[in-house]
Chains A and B, each alone.
Chain A
Amino acid sequence: MMKENMSNSEESLIKPKTLEEVRAMIKSHKRNDFIFSSIGLLTIIFALLTLLILFVDLVMDGYPKLNYEFFTDFPSRRAAHAGILSAWVGSSLIMLVTFVTAVPMGVATGVYLEEYAPKNWFTDIIEINVTNLAGVPSIIYGLLALGLFVYTFHLGQTIVTAGLTLGLLMLPIVIVSTREAIRSIPVAIREAAYAVGATKWQVMLHHVIQYSFGGILTGIIIGMARALGETAPIITVGALTFIAFLPPAPLTSVPPFISFEWLQSGFTVLPIQMFSWLSRPEHAFHINAAAAGAVIIMLTLLMNGTAIWLRYRIRKNIKW
């Protein structure tokens, strides 16, 4: 569009146009604008409608199962009594491990690479690798984790292994989004802070990280939402399908009141439970699968919604 405008204006310099010609030109450009915005709108509507139809279809299919018992029942051979208790507890605990490991490490790496790392070939290699890692198929992380966590470090086919695997998967996303967020802080802010005598660390902690927090958070939550729906790497490290007991509780009644035994428990996650039900012959199980699918989509939407809301809140509070 820009180019077209320029060439047109050049032409008009050479050869003056009549009023009608100019009007026709404006009209045709306005038409182009209209066509483009219509295409854009149609594309958005199409994408949203697809998601909506999918979601409504799942909810309608799974509606009879979307009740309290569905969340408090273990898997069972009787579809009517089968629920997602072990699956959602497993998913949540794994997400917790993923969060605790990937977020501090990812944010720290992002800050270091963006602000502290010397610009040399070694940093360049790390940067290229981190960016590439964000696009590596998830099964590769599963294979890495199987070799490293399960067989080398003997962590077993447990919640901690799954959490670390998804942590690895999420790490590049957090690093990249942290760097993007930091980069968007105007230089003037840093210079102002330095000017009143702040050290580099103070500039980072009090200004750069705080102002870019919204962006960092978005990256974290998008990474978590992706990890939540992952199946391939989790199956590779040895997720179970039938598990009708919960991991040991993290809080105990005897000192020291906190137990890490749950990290060593076997597990299953929501997408695996859904897949297992979907491949059963009985139609009643397909209803369960649809309900589980609706729960996964709702969780993902909830996480993305939280990200948008937090970003909005934080941006609003920043006063430069």
Chain B
Amino acid sequence: MKSNKIKSLGLAALVASTFTFSYNVNAEVKTIAIDGSSTVYPITEAVAEDFQKKTGTKVTVGISGTGGGFKKFCRGETMISDASRPILKKEIDMCAENGITYIELPIAYDALTVVTNKANTWAKSLTVAELNKIWASGSSVKNWKDVNSTFPDQPMKLFGPGADSGTFDYFTEAINGKAKSSRSDYTASEDDNVLVTGVSGDKGGLGYFGLAYYLENKDKLSAVGIVAKDKTAAVLPSEATVMDGTYQPLARPLFIYVNATKGAFDKDVKAFVEYFLANAPKLVKEVKYVPLNTSEYAAVTKHWQSKKSGSGFGGVPEVGVKIEDLIKRIKD
């Protein structure tokens, strides 16, 4: 290994000396760098596309995942971070270490949708307790009749996202009461299209993913209505039920975090965030996510203008917080 190191160091030194000149010259080239969650990506991409066309300011968006995005954000490499969950304690600490503050802005909803095969005629709705029975860590449910005695004798095949996904974190928190606590004997994939194929190919299939993937595959899958508490009506995921707050507990907010140390005072970043909030209702719908209410966007815009930094979650993810309450908690 020694000789490799020497060689690669030599190579790098050679190259570095060649390019240092041009590097310094271009340090001031202005681009708004955004990175983070792949769930939020389509929204940011839509905004970036239109904003760049309108103003000419260059915007780039990467997909490093929510965690990877925060790593770059807290090192000051990006001005905005896409996040499908709130910033966690260790990320808050990392940002603090580097003296980076942030403004937390909820920008849309995503409805986690529980889906079954088209041939499934029995489970039109499931209670949270039933979902918990199915997905709880160590659960032994292998057949639909184990979930509810009125269900037929049909082997159950489970599909879900992998453990690195924000969707997984939120679903387990909402259904099993603890993030990342889930049975592990299911077919996991980071690619939601693989889950779609899995559930649509198995009569006893059950899976969960973001609403957009269900809406695109309505012909192959059925959505399951969720009964939040006993004796309440089952609610199907849709734009209306998410916006009026009845689709619980699987509706989750999506965020962008804006660098408040430098970004919030930069004229281009400011213009971008304002454009984002003003056009979110239209663009969010276009990419098949659920926009916030008008009043909620108004509250978020006001919060942005107040430039109050910090997170309303304090590093601990929480299910079912109202956007207005969340913003009120942030006291700079």
Contact = CB atoms under 8 A, between A and B. Distances in A.
Interface string B1-40: 1111001110110011001001101100101010000100
Given A261-B22, A279-B38, A242 B45 contact: yes
Interface in B182-238: 191-193, 210, 212-213, 215-217
Tell me the dominant secondary structure on chain B's binding face.
helix
Nearest to B12: A148
B49 interface: yes
Contact of B8 (A168, A241, A279): A168
A281 B22 contact: no
Interface in A197-242: 238-242
B307 interface: no
Contacts of A283: 216
Nearest to B53: A244
Q: Give the residue among B23, B191, B217 with the most A Cβ atoms within 10 A.
A: B23
B19 A160 contact: yes
Nearest to B16: A153
A276 B63 contact: yes
Given A148-B12, A279-B193, A266 B31 contact: yes
Nearest to B58: A245
B52 interface: yes
Interface stretch (A29-37, A125-133, A290-298): A125-133
A239 B61 CA distance: 9
A276 to B, nearest CB: 7
A92 interface: no
Contact of B60 (A76, A133, A148, A240): A240
Nearest to A86: B60
A14 B2 CA distance: 60
A260 B22 contact: yes
Given A261-B26, A263-B19, A263-B22, A75 B45 contact: yes
A301 B2 CA distance: 37
B255 interface: no
A313 B21 CA distance: 41
Contacts of A125: 2-3
Nearest to A81: B49
B253 to A, nearest CB: 19
A264 interface: yes
B31 A241 contact: no
Given A164-B12, A164-B15, A278-B193, A155 B48 contact: no
Contacts of A242: 41, 44-45, 48-49, 59-62
Interface string A73-108: 011110000000000000000000000010001000
A241 B15 contact: no
A243 interface: yes
B46 interface: yes
B288 interface: yes
B93 interface: no
B23 to A, nearest CB: 6
B175 to A, nearest CB: 22
Interface residues of B, number: 49
Interface in A123-164: 125-126, 129, 133, 144, 148-149, 152-157, 160, 164
A101 B49 contact: no
Given A77-B49, A77-B286, A153 B42 contact: no
Contacts of B213: 281
Contact of A148 (B8, B38, B42, B287): B8
A240 B23 contact: no
A101 B8 contact: no
Contact of A241 (B7, B25, B49, B62): B62
A154 B9 CA distance: 14
Contacts of B212: 281
A77 B31 contact: no
A279 B62 contact: no
A122 interface: yes
Given A126-B3, A241-B41, A261-B26, A77 B287 contact: yes
A263 B72 CA distance: 21
B332 to A, nearest CB: 32
B62 A264 contact: no
Nearest to B25: A261
Contacts of B286: 77
Interface of B: 1-4, 7-9, 11-12, 15-16, 19, 22-23, 25-26, 29, 31, 33, 38, 41-42, 44-46, 48-49, 52, 58-63, 72, 77, 191-193, 210, 212-213, 215-217, 283, 286-288
10 contacts: A74-B49, A152-B12, A157-B77, A164-B11, A241-B62, A261-B26, A266-B33, A276-B41, A281-B192, A282-B288
Interface of A: 74-77, 101, 105, 122, 125-126, 129, 133, 144, 148-149, 152-157, 160, 164, 168, 238-245, 260-261, 263-264, 266, 276, 278-283, 286
Given A101-B11, A281-B215, 7 more contacts: A155-B16, A155-B23, A160-B15, A241-B45, A244-B59, A278-B193, A279-B192
